[in-house]
C-alpha cells in the first residue's frame, strides 16, 4: 500500500487506531512556530510551499506565527490583502510581486508562504445530471441504505432524530433558498464569490450546492430533515475555487459557528498545508469537518482537505455497496457512504441525480448533525469517533488499497 511521505506515519496510525482523530480538538495557536533566527544566526526566510495542482500566478497565502497581527504586518509592508484570517489561520492572502514575496518571506513573524491553487467541487465529471424539473422525487436509496446494516433495502428511512437545533455550514456553490425541500431553513452565511453577496446557488451553474444541501437536510432527500443550513459560498458557477478563498470560508465558520454545528465541504484539490491547518483549527472549535475524499481514483491522503488529520473524509459506494471507480481511497478515506446516482434537490425546484464523493460526504454530515443535535457540546473528535464506531464493518465490496471497510450507519438515531 502506498502511503505519501507527508502522511506516512499518520496514515498508518489511522489504520492501526481507527477511533483516534489526531489533533481534532487540541487547542493551540492557529499558526505553527515557523522559522526563526538560529542560535546566534540571522533570521531565516519563511519556507515557500507550492502545490501539485493548477496554481494561481502571483497569489499567496501567508501564515503568521502566534502573536503576529495580520493587519499590522500588511500595513507595515504596504501589502493589500484580499483575505485576512484570524480564526482558521492567523495570516492573510494577497497578490505579491517577486520583490514583495521575498520581503514577506524575510519578515519576522511570518511562518510560511504557500502559492495559491485551484480546488474544485468533488463531483464525478463523467456522470450526467438527470433532472426531474418541477416535481420533487421520493428520496434516494442513499437514505434507505444508511439506516440498515445489510442489503436488501426495505424502501424506508427510519430515524427519529431530525437534526433540529443543529446547524450545518455548506461550503459550496450556494443554496437555492426557495426550494421547497428546505422549508425556510436555509440562509446565507457568507458569499465570497458573487457580486450580490447573498450566497444563493447559480441559476446558470451546476446546482451543486443545492444538491449537497438537499442530501444534508432536505425534507424529502435529506438525512437531518429539520437542521438549519447555512450557505458558505466559496465555489463559482463552474464549481471552482482557490485555496485562499476556501480558507476564508473556513475562517468564517471558525468564528461564527454555533455550538451544535457541522461543516460539509464537498470540495477537493491538491495537498495544501494551509488548508489542512485551517481544517484542524475548525475542528478544534468543536465543529466536525466532513469532507469529500475526492474523485480522482487516487490516494485521498494526497489531496486537501481529505488528507487533513482532523477531517472526516468520505469515499463513495453505489447501490450494490461497491466502492465506486471514481472514489479516492486509502486510510484518509475513513468512512464510506452512498455516492452514485444520488437523488436530491435541484436548483430552481424539483430533483436531480448526481454522483461523486460530493454526494457521499453530505450523508455523513447529516448523520453528524443528528448526533450534534442530541449532543450539542460534543467535540469534533467525539462526533467523528461515534460515526466511525457505529459504521457497518466489512459491508462494502470492490474495496481499494488501504481503505477502511466502514459504511455509514445512523446508529439508531
Residue of 358, 361, 380, 391 with catalytic role: 358
Phi first, then psi: give them for residue 295, nearest 5 degrees: -120, 30
The separation between CA 315 and the C-alpha centre of its own chain, rounded to angstroms, equals 13
261/286 Cα distance (integer angstroms) = 8
Cα–Cα distances in Å, from 59 out to 13, 88, 113, 344, 353?
A: 35, 19, 10, 36, 36
361/339 Cα distance (integer angstroms) = 8
Closest CA to 406 of 314, 324, 327: 314
406 neighbors 336 (Cβ within 8 angstroms): yes
Residue 131: CB atoms within 10 Å: 14
Residue of 25, 116, 147, 172 with catalytic role: 172
Rg (CA), the chain: 20
Task: Please confirm, yes or no, whether 208 is among the known catalytic residues.
Answer: yes
All cell numbers assigned to 96: 505579491
All cell numbers assigned to 269: 484539490
148/159 Cα distance (integer angstroms) = 11
Task: Please confirm, yes or no, whether 358 is among the known catalytic residues.
Answer: yes
Query: Can you say whether the dihedral through the CA atoms of 223, 249, 305, 351 is positive or negative?
Result: positive
95/115 Cα distance (integer angstroms) = 10
Residue of 208, 211, 303, 363 with catalytic role: 208
Closest CA to 122 of 277, 304, 380, 347: 304
Q: DSSP string of 224-277?
A: STT-EEEEEE-S-TTSEEEHHHHHHHHHHHHHH--SSEEEEE-EEEE--HHHHH
Sheet with 342-345, edge to edge strand ranges: 130-132, 351-354, 342-345
Collapsing DSSP to helix, strand or coil, 301 comes out as helix
Please identify every residue annotated as catalytic.
172, 208, 358
Amino acid at each position: 500500500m502506498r502511503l505519501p511521505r507527508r502522511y506516512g506515519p499518520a496514515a498508518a496510525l489511522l489504520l492501526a487506531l481507527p477511533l483516534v482523530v489526531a489533533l481534532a480538538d487540541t487547542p493551540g495557536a492557529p499558526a505553527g512556530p515557523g522559522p526563526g533566527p538560529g542560535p546566534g544566526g540571522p533570521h531565516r526566510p519563511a519556507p515557500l510551499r507550492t502545490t501539485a495542482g493548477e496554481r494561481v500566478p502571483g497569489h499567496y497565502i501567508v501564515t503568521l506565527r502566534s502573536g503576529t497581527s495580520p493587519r499590522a504586518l500588511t500595513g507595515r509592508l504596504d501589502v493589500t490583502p484580499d483575505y485576512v484570517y484570524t480564526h482558521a489561520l492567523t495570516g492573510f492572502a494577497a497578490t505579491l510581486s517577486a520583490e514583495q514575496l521575498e520581503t514577506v518571506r524575510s519578515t519576522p513573524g511570518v511562518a510560511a508562504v504557500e502559492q495559491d491553487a485551484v480546488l474544485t467541487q468533488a463531483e464525478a465529471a463523467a456522470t450526467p445530471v438527470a433532472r426531474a424539473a418541477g416535481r420533487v422525487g421520493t428520496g434516494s436509496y442513499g437514505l434507505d441504505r444508511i439506516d440498515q446494516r445489510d442489503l436488501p433495502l426495505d424502501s424506508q428511512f427510519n430515524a427519529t432524530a431530525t437534526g433540529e437545533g443543529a446547524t450545518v455550514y455548506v461550503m459550496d456553490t450556494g443554496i437555492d433558498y426557495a426550494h421547497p425541500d428546505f422549508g425556510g431553513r436555509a440562509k446565507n452565511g457568507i458569499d465570497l464569490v458573487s457580486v450580490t453577496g447573498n450566497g444563493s446557488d447559480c441559476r446558470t451553474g451546476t446546482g451543486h450546492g443545492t444538491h449537497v444541501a438537499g442530501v444534508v437536510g432536505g425534507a424529502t432527500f435529506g438525512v437531518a430533515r429539520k437542521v438549519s443550513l447555512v450557505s458558505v459560498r466559496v465555489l463559482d458557477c463552474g464549481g471552482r475555487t482557490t485555496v485562499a478563498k476556501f480558507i476564508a470560508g473556513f475562517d468564517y465558520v471558525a468564528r461564527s459557528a454555533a455550538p451544535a454545528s457541522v461543516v460539509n465541504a464537498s470540495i477537493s484539490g491538491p495537498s495544501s498545508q494551509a488548508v489542512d491547518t485551517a481544517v484542524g483549527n475548525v475542528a478544534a472549535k468543536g465543529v466536525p469537518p466532513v469532507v469529500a475524499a475526492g474523485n480522482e481514483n487516487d490516494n485521498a491522503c494526497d489531496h486537501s482537505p481529505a488528507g487533513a488529520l482532523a477531517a472526516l473524509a468520505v469515499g463513495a459506494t453505489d447501490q450494490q455497496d461497491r466502492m465506486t471507480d471514481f472514489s479516492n481511497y486509502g486510510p484518509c478515506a475513513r468512512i464510506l457512504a452512498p455516492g452514485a446516482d444520488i437523488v436530491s434537490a435541484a436548483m430552481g425546484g424539483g430533483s436531480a441525480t448526481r454522483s461523486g464523493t460530493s454526494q457521499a460526504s453530505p450523508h455523513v454530515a447529516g448523520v453528524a448533525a443528528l448526533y450534534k443535535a442530541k449532543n450539542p457540546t460534543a467535540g469534533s473528535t467525539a462526533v467523528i469517533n461515534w460515526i466511525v464506531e457505529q459504521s457497518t464493518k466489512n459491508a462494502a465490496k470492490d474495496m481499494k488499497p488501504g481503505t477502511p471497510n466502514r459504511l455509514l450507519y445512523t446508529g439508531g438515531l
